[in-house]
Structure 1
Amino acid sequence: MGGRLPTETELAKTYAIGVNTVRRAVDLLVEEGLVRRKQGSGTFVTAGPVASGMTRPRFIGVLVPSTTYYFPRVVQGIERAVSAAGAQLVLACSDYDLDVELAQTRQLVDAGISGLLLVPNLHLSDDPAAHLAGLRSLPVPYVLVERRPQDPSLADPTSYVCTDVLGGGYSAVQHLHGLGRSRIGYLGRIGTATSEQLFDGYRRAIADLGLPELPAAVARQPSWTGPDLLAYANQCVREKVRGVVCLGDREATALLPYLRRVGLSVPDEVALMAYDDEVADLAEVPISAVSPPKEEVGRMAAEVLLRRIELGPVAPVCRVVLQPRLAVRASCGAAAGALVEVRVPT
């Protein structure tokens, strides 16, 4: 324990302020874990001087693109790790807007954060590499969450913790193939942070497993309407599709009634796999999904950042990629409730 503080009365006299004002200030220090009251002895600093080159975090900034979908569970994981370290979380949202992201980043830094956990909108930037390079001028340590450089140099200094989305796309196809489905289509959005990686995983699995390519049953667009989904369901009939990988849960859920409308039952005739696992289990036929370890991503990202804050300039660059799991449900016809590890060949 560190040194003993003067009494509240002594502090009030020294600084010519009211005792109640001093008491409120000390209460805040207690809440932040910087001092501790000991009954009958006084108020003491909780730790001695910080070692050279090391910083004790007080506030951790977290900037996410959404607070309503996907990222709440990531933030939960962050909050657990930050709280365990005696720090506080300051949350901001960019609403998938590059200008808002920049403004919120500046506000967090100006607010005195010790470090930043950032989900940058790289997929919206004309030059993602330049966007990431601009972060290097931040005056605080930072770690990317669920984002990483696309083609980093060997000396790239960016630390990140993210999900292996490519592996998730691969495992979805691999799982359907293991169930005897050989004609597998793809339905997904484009222009999202994960769309290209997931589609690349799908294509790689189709090639590696020697499955037939079905260009007419591969459909990607920014959003999906009822007529779009009906047209795709008809393509599934014409192409004799036996399985579909979807990005994401909402698209897979919306596809279900259109498959039924054209006479295809799920999972008997067509098996469905989704990516995200936010609402997949709530569909009329619970949908099997590639399930990113969202809370674990948040927890590990926070721990990496806290370590970088602690070590300062000598902190090593950390690149952490976590494999998702498959939450197996009724839509693929396998044993419901099974969890399957992703295995991507090198």
Structure 2
Amino acid sequence: MREPVDLRRQRILGVVRSRGAVRVGDLAAELDVSVVTVRRDVEELARAGQLRRGHGVVRSIVPVEEAGAGVPRARSGEDGAAIGLVVPERHSYLFEILHGARTVLEEAGMRIALHIAPAVSGGERPMVEQALASGVQGLLIAPRWRGLGAEEADYGWLGSLDVPTVLMERRPRPGSALHALDSVCSDHWYGVHLAVEHLISLGHRRIVLGARDDSPTARAVRAAFTAIAAERAEIEDWAVTLSSPTAVPEPAERPRSESAREPQPDVLDLLRTRGATAAVLHGDVDALMLVQRFQEAGIRVPEDFSVVAYDDVVAALGSTPLTAVAPPKTEVGRAAAELLLHRLRRPAEERPAPVRRIELLPDLQVRGSTGPVSGSASGAGE
């Protein structure tokens, strides 16, 4: 899904204010959009008096040391309390979640302070500290957590914050310091169940999961598929591999038990050797690229092979629109914001509200990439 214009412009403001001056070309590369798009955004922001533009350079109108990480601090006299939203940069999956949270908070008269965490381990902590220093009353946060090591490193400081905090699309390890933190998450076990059930109903008995391994969602999808495939008597053979060779956390972000990672086979090679007739791919881009590779190899989708994507951010945009599991991203954001407001509105003299851990069910969008097993089908490439 394309990033909303207002969110992209907030990100531009955050980058410019944090650095003082930035080249337009560098902004375009960092935001992964065209130079023309950035120029148009910069012109509108300059017209609104929020930054200055020169020959290929964008400059902040406030000193760098006074700049926040995402949006300007409240002006004196502005009404409405502020809620901090902290999310990782270049994470399109979370854009819809942000939209859902924003709708609820703005309806409640809350100002939103968006902070974009850089793509480095531990990048969320400085953003949270800046949000707290600016006086936010509560936090909505979706840490990147590429590996379990990075996740566990955040448990201590994140569990000791003195403002109400809700995790979005994150489920900490049971028994950890964050186990009793409010959270709203998609039920990814159910999402994988929908995908597998759909493929089984079409006659597929040899299924492979190609999944990332660099996010909490990816790890939940892998664990769910392993459990479900092992329990379903209808499945004759199954396997799990990486959907992309680069979809793994850095060694520093892994616990010691995962430091030595065995090389995993290419997903297309694995499909051929296992005689699979269907695959579930996390996420959408990797699924679309697999379908392109199928086309190059003369494998027809869905006549010869069925593909289910997991995320449904851009799955519908392929030359063959992909059947996809669609987590309720907007509703996760709405529920997280409502949960935070519920806690903020509770009178201080009352006992703290019970911690809530909310799970919302994904649904399955059936499109053109899945079909019944043909009588002659015996696996990809055969």
TM bin, normalised by shorter chain, reads 0.7 to 0.9
2:121 match? 98
Pairs within 5 Å for 1:1-346: 29=77, 32=79, 58-66=81-89, 68-124=91-147, 126=149, 128-129=151-152, 131-152=154-175, 156-210=179-233, 211-215=235-239, 218-219=241-242, 222-223=245-246, 232-311=267-346, 312=348, 314-333=352-371
Relative to 1, partners in 2 of residues 1:174 and 1:140: Cα closer, same or farther, differing over 3 Å?
same
Distance 2:207 2:148 in 1: 32
1:14-47 deviations in whole A, cap 9, x for unaligned? xxxxxxxxxxxxx974x626xxxxxxxxxxxxxx
Query: 1:169 touches 1:200 (CA, 8 Å); kept in 2?
Result: no
Pick which of 107-116 and 127-136 moved more: 127-136
Relative to 1, partners in 2 of residues 1:124 and 1:241: Cα closer, same or farther, differing over 3 Å?
closer
Query: 1:246 touches 1:275 (CA, 8 Å); kept in 2?
Result: yes
Query: 1:206 touches 1:212 (CA, 8 Å); kept in 2?
Result: no
Amino acid at match of 1:212: E
Relative to 1, partners in 2 of residues 1:291 and 1:283: Cα closer, same or farther, differing over 3 Å?
same
Relative to 1, partners in 2 of residues 1:231 and 1:75: Cα closer, same or farther, differing over 3 Å?
closer
1:122-165 deviations in whole A, cap 9, x for unaligned? 34452634522322321211110111212237994211001112
Distance 2:216 2:185 in 1: 12
Distance 1:61 1:206 in 2: 40
**TM-score with structure 1 setting the length:** 0.74
Amino acid at match of 2:96: R
Q: How far 1:206 moved relative to its partner?
A: 1.3
Percent same amino acid at aligned positions? 32
SS in 2 for 1:266: coil
CA RMSD, 1 decimal = 2.7
Relative to 1, partners in 2 of residues 1:133 and 1:281: Cα closer, same or farther, differing over 3 Å?
same
**TM-score with structure 2 setting the length:** 0.67
Distance 1:190 1:241 in 2: 21
Relative to 1, partners in 2 of residues 1:306 and 1:332: Cα closer, same or farther, differing over 3 Å?
same
1:10 match? none
Distance 2:180 2:111 in 1: 26
Distance 1:155 1:74 in 2: 21
SS in 1 for 2:185: strand
Relative to 1, partners in 2 of residues 1:254 and 1:79: Cα closer, same or farther, differing over 3 Å?
same
Query: 2:243 touches 2:286 (CA, 8 Å); kept in 1?
Result: no
Query: What is the number of equivalent residue pairs in this alignment?
Result: 279
Structure 2: which 5+ residue stretches go unaligned? 1-74, 248-262, 373-382
Relative to 1, partners in 2 of residues 1:208 and 1:284: Cα closer, same or farther, differing over 3 Å?
same
Relative to 1, partners in 2 of residues 1:333 and 1:274: Cα closer, same or farther, differing over 3 Å?
same
Relative to 1, partners in 2 of residues 1:255 and 1:296: Cα closer, same or farther, differing over 3 Å?
same
Relative to 1, partners in 2 of residues 1:237 and 1:121: Cα closer, same or farther, differing over 3 Å?
closer
1:178-201 deviations in whole A, cap 9, x for unaligned? 111111112122222222210122
1:38 match? none
Query: 1:233 touches 1:255 (CA, 8 Å); kept in 2?
Result: yes
Q: How far 1:209 moved relative to its partner?
A: 1.6
Structure 1: which 5+ residue stretches go unaligned? 1-26, 34-57, 335-346
Structure with higher Rg: it is 1
